[in-house]
Amino acid sequence: MTEPEDSSLVSSCLKGNAGAFEILVERYQRQIFNAALRMVKDYDDARDLTQTAFVKAYERLESFDPRHKFFSWIYRIVINEAINFLKWRRQHEALNSGIAEATERPDVDIENGERTEMVQEAIYQLRVEQRVLIVLRHFAELSYRELAYVLEVPEKTVKSRLYAARQALCVLLEEKGVTASD
């Protein structure tokens, strides 16, 4: 049996079938959570942001434009929530609060784990706007068109901002001693 299309599920949900939205949640919760986690670097905060994004999506489902992918629409919601959360957190945290250390997974090679940690740490050091681009393009694998939709900017703007974000990330990685050949 084939999986129902997102647009069919949204339509069914709007007609009162709450179970249709559950399918959408199951289909995308892992990807939405991962995007939130890469933005805020805290498991519990990412879980809360994911839940908030789905609640807001459900409440605003009638505003969904079926010409676009549900996937892109829900990403827009979670990224906006993450940006708002980061602004709020920045205003309420002490300046000298440390960044929590990521725990190593025993099944990951130590050298690769250290490199991954350095890359992730560099991503967290990017400006939020740059981090969004890197996360959505390279981890969520959104196309330029989908990025333009999520960020509400033209594709050319996405490309130039993504180029600048990549350049900034390269500088941060070089400062940490990570090079492209690593």
Detail the DSSP E strand segments found in 56-139.
none
Asked if 61 and 10 count as a contact pair (C-beta separation under 8 A), the reply is yes
- What's the pLDDT score for residue 32? 93
| Predicted pLDDT at 93 | 54
pLDDT given at position 110: 53
Q: For 60, which DSSP code?
A: T
- CA atoms within 13 Å, Cβ hemisphere of 172: 20
pLDDT at 179: 67
Closest CA to 172 of 139, 138, 124: 124
What's the Cα-to-Cα distance from 174 to each of 20, 114, 118, 133, rounded to whole Å? 47, 15, 10, 20
Q: Tell me the domains of the chain and their CATH numbers.
A: 1-95 (1.10.1740.10), 101-182 (1.10.10.10)
Per-residue confidence (pLDDT) for residue 122, from 0 to 100:
81
pTM: 0.62
pLDDT number for residue 27:
93
pLDDT of residue 120: 76
Residues of the chain with pLDDT under 70: 1-2, 90-115, 178-182
Give the per-residue pLDDT at 22: 93
pLDDT for residue 156: 92
